[in-house]
A and B are shown apart, each in its own frame.
Chain A
Amino acid sequence: MEGITDRVLSLLEASGQNRRTFAQDIGLDDSKLSKSLNGARRFSSLDLARIADKCRVTVDWLVTGEEPTLAVAARTTSGQARTALEAAKQYSTMREDLAVFGWEQPWRPLEAEIPGGTYAEQGRALAAAALARVAEAGLSLTDAALPALVEQAFGADVAVVGLDEGFDGLAASSDEAKLIVLGTSQVPARQRFTLAHELGHLLVGDDQGVHLDKDVYDKAQAKDPSEMRANSFASAFLIPEDTLRTAAGTTGLSEDSFAALSCDLQISPFALAIQLQQLRLIDAGMCDRLRKITAAKAAALAGRSEEFSRHVADASTPRPPGLLVRDSYMAYESGATTLRPYASLLGVDVDELRRALEAEEGVPGVS
């Protein structure tokens, strides 16, 4: 308990209070606190919870002296990033706790080593391996919603949290939890790019802890090698070269077929035009013309505005992490937990949820 005592002493000092006032705040009398600090009495579970509550630290930190990176980041960050970090902290803690109860995250990293070459080449090679994994899983980037696809093919949790503009996403990684948190967005292609970018970070293992991306399109950030590799991964993953070459065929792309391709891949016309030009499938003049088309205009040209409106709505809607939702329900069903964590993930009242789950299926008009 020596470590605990030291940490409580440091909190007492930081509080600026005398022992008596500090003791009163945590429900101990002066002599009990003194005995605990002198090693004659052990701090109890309740003492530590009350100290943690008063001093805004965690019980785990008081016991071990260790604080998860996400908790530190959430505590020391402000603005939109803090909201995302708080969500990441909640989800990661839930995942780590569930792992102890037998529901480990089904994380499936790529088996291939990171290849040599430039960072951009590394990103493209990783994307090829990731696309092979997607095909292996019988999935298609053009059919499935990307968050569900990433969860199914790679076993990382993907959450979308309600944020105002100004924060794209983050990747959080620990031994037990791999998590991507995205901000809600009215620009589906941007959210999709962010997701692929964060997946790139996770697959490479760029950060043990947390990797924040306030703005994935930030030019200064893009000069960082790991960002360069994640960007290259995201581009190659979302805009596969084979697909572009097939689409261009021998006759090239018209404005209409370009628009349809942009809708198929759910990427911005701007990014698509640049990629096509880099592969020399269109010339600079055509690139200049096509990159000015907006995503909404491309959808209209392709006759797919209805589909586009659904993508905007989806990207604007918060989403709890799918694998965590699944596993927390399974843990409830098996009796390993109460229904409360599952209800909390769904953001619903536990009593209402239980009533709904226990209600008999009704038939309209039959009582």
Chain B
Amino acid sequence: MTEPLFPDNTVLCNFAAVNRLDLLKSVLGGRGRWTEAVAYEASRSAAKLSPLMALPSEGWLDDPIEITKASDIRKINQIRRAVFDGTDDDPLKHLGEAQTCYVIKNWASFAGSWWISDDREALRYAKFQHITTRETIDMLCIAVAGGDISAGGAFDLMNQMADSDRYLRLPQSAEELRR
């Protein structure tokens, strides 16, 4: 596997909530990327989830991808509104999702990338757009398979995430994470 992996802010927040961004870093294996709007969303979330604060300086998601071509900017704004229900009055809302979808679908350098999210709507839309999707639970499965964490440890970690008011799909048992 060499495709870039784009965790969205919900996923970053899940791992930050249990202070295990190191585990996500290990699973992403140097292939993690983020757009400028996701980086901005993470910086806003850092007010409540302080582990996110170190993300830009650690650099394992690389420099935030900047979109500067006027036609790309307009199309992203249109996707943000039409697909994700953003509005002109709130131009930052859903910008991270729109940018991520757009670069994966339209920039050759990111073709085949995975989009990692726990948002049901974003996941459904991405599948229809033939974008490979993964959720936090899939990241934990990879971590278990790679020996980064035991299945029991991963199971407990996901329940801790949920206990921290994070919304994500949970496994029924630790066994489910051994796949």
B91-105 contact mask (Cβ, 8 Å, vs A): 1 or 0: 110010001000000
- For chain B, what secondary structure do more than half of its interface residues adopt (helix, strand, loop), or is it mixed? helix
**How far is it, in angstroms, between the C-alpha of A90 and the C-alpha of B86 when the chains are bound?**
10
Q: Are A48 and B73 in contact (CB under 8 A)?
A: yes
Of residues 1 through 26 on chain A, the ones whose CB sits less than 8 Å from some CB of chain B are: 1, 4
Contacts of A101 in B (CB 8 A): 82
**How far is it, in angstroms, between the C-alpha of A336 and the C-alpha of B67 when the chains are bound?**
22
Q: Are B124 and A46 in contact (CB under 8 A)?
A: no
**How far is it, in angstroms, between the C-alpha of A338 and the C-alpha of B119 when the chains are bound?**
11
Q: Is B175 an interface residue (CB 8 A)?
A: no
Q: Are A336 and B40 in contact (CB under 8 A)?
A: no
Contacts of B128 in A (CB 8 A): 334-336
Q: Is B179 an interface residue (CB 8 A)?
A: no
Q: Are A63 and B70 in contact (CB under 8 A)?
A: yes
How many residues from B make CB contacts under 8 Å with A?
34
Contacts of A98 in B (CB 8 A): 82
Knowing A335-B128, A336-B128, A341-B85 are in contact, say whether A46-B74 is a contact too (CB < 8 A).
no
Of residues 312 through 362 on chain A, the ones whose CB sits less than 8 Å from some CB of chain B are: 331, 334-341, 343-344, 350-351, 354
Q: Is B58 an interface residue (CB 8 A)?
A: no
Q: How far is the CB of A28 from chain B (nearest CB, A)?
A: 11
Knowing A60-B77, A63-B70 are in contact, say whether A338-B85 is a contact too (CB < 8 A).
yes
Q: Are B82 and A335 in contact (CB under 8 A)?
A: no
Q: Are A340 and B85 in contact (CB under 8 A)?
A: yes
Q: Is A42 an interface residue (CB 8 A)?
A: yes
| Closest A residue to B75 using CB positions | A100
Partner of A94, one of B82, B95, B125: B82
Q: Is A71 an interface residue (CB 8 A)?
A: yes
Q: Are B77 and A59 in contact (CB under 8 A)?
A: yes
Partner of B87, one of A44, A50, A64, A90: A90
Q: Is A49 an interface residue (CB 8 A)?
A: yes
Q: Is A128 an interface residue (CB 8 A)?
A: no
Q: Are A44 and B36 in contact (CB under 8 A)?
A: yes
| Closest B residue to A358 using CB positions | B120
Best-buried of A46, A59, A337 by chain B (most CB within 10 Å): A46
Q: Is B37 an interface residue (CB 8 A)?
A: yes
Q: How far is the CB of B40 from chain A (nearest CB, A)?
A: 6
**How far is it, in angstroms, between the C-alpha of A94 and the C-alpha of B83 when the chains are bound?**
10
Partner of B82, one of A1, A42, A89, A337: A337
Knowing A53-B92, A97-B78, A97-B82 are in contact, say whether A45-B68 is a contact too (CB < 8 A).
yes
Q: Are B72 and A45 in contact (CB under 8 A)?
A: yes
Knowing A45-B76, A354-B120 are in contact, say whether A93-B88 is a contact too (CB < 8 A).
yes
Of residues 115 through 138 on chain B, the ones whose CB sits less than 8 Å from some CB of chain A are: 120-122, 124-125, 127-129
Partner of B68, one of A42, A59, A340: A42
Q: Is B31 an interface residue (CB 8 A)?
A: no
Q: How far is the CB of B66 from chain A (nearest CB, A)?
A: 4
Q: How far is the CB of A44 from chain B (nearest CB, A)?
A: 4
Q: How far is the CB of B170 from chain A (nearest CB, A)?
A: 16
Q: How far is the CB of A2 from chain B (nearest CB, A)?
A: 11
Q: Are B82 and A46 in contact (CB under 8 A)?
A: no
Contacts of A1 in B (CB 8 A): 70
Q: Are B88 and A100 in contact (CB under 8 A)?
A: no
Q: Are A46 and B122 in contact (CB under 8 A)?
A: no
Of residues 82 through 133 on chain A, the ones whose CB sits less than 8 Å from some CB of chain B are: 89-90, 93-94, 97-98, 100-101
Q: Are A58 and B68 in contact (CB under 8 A)?
A: no
Partner of A337, one of B68, B83, B127: B83
| Closest A residue to B121 using CB positions | A338
> Mind listing 26 A-B residue pairs with CB under 8 Å?
A4-B70, A42-B68, A42-B69, A44-B68, A45-B36, A45-B37, A46-B40, A46-B66, A46-B67, A46-B95, A49-B91, A50-B92, A53-B91, A60-B77, A94-B81, A98-B82, A101-B82, A335-B128, A337-B82, A337-B125, A338-B125, A339-B121, A339-B124, A344-B85, A351-B120, A354-B120
Since A45-B68, A46-B95, A71-B88 are in contact, a sample of 18 more A-B pairs with Cβ atoms closer than 8 Å, ordered by chain A residue number, is A27-B40, A42-B68, A43-B68, A44-B36, A45-B37, A46-B37, A48-B91, A49-B77, A58-B91, A63-B73, A98-B82, A100-B78, A331-B82, A335-B125, A335-B128, A336-B83, A351-B120, A354-B121
**Which A residues form the contact surface with B (CB < 8 A)?**
1, 4, 27, 42-46, 48-50, 52-53, 58-60, 63-64, 71, 89-90, 93-94, 97-98, 100-101, 331, 334-341, 343-344, 350-351, 354
5 tightest A-B CB contacts, nearest first: A335-B128, A340-B85, A97-B82, A42-B68, A338-B121
**Which B residues form the contact surface with A (CB < 8 A)?**
36-37, 40, 66-70, 72-74, 76-78, 81-85, 87-88, 90-92, 95, 99, 120-122, 124-125, 127-129
